[in-house]
Amino acid sequence: MTDTDNKRQLLHLVFGGELNDLNDVQFRDLKTLDIVGIFPDYASALTAWKSKAQMTVDNAHMRYFIVHMHKLLDPAQG
């Protein structure tokens, strides 16, 4: 058994892409979205997000996001 088997999984998705406009969340090309991965908790998702955000710091239109998938899968859970 691993550590993730013992605690509740709160899945988080990290993804990013180039925005059309810095004032809106509309991606230039959906085919080029960078799906970083799905993580079992917020802390590991945040680590991945920081890493990707730092690697693309020179491109002002590139943005990465963390989606709380566990909230979408079970809205009552919050």
**Closest of 62, 59, 50 to residue 14, by C-alpha:** 50
Is residue 74 predicted with pLDDT exceeding 90? Answer: no
Q: What stretches of the chain show up as alpha helix (H) in DSSP? A: 3-6, 42-55, 69-73
What is the 8-class DSSP label of residue 40? S
What 3-state class would DSSP assign to 7?
coil
What 3-state class would DSSP assign to 43?
helix
Is residue 70 predicted with pLDDT exceeding 80? Answer: yes
Q: Which domains does the chain have, with CATH numbers?
A: 3-73 (3.30.70.2400)
Residue 5's pLDDT band (cuts 50, 70, 90) = low
- The tens digit of pLDDT for each residue in 9-52 reads 899 999 999 999 988 999 999 999 999 999 999 999 999 999 99
Using a cut of 0.75, tell me whether the model's pTM lies above it: yes
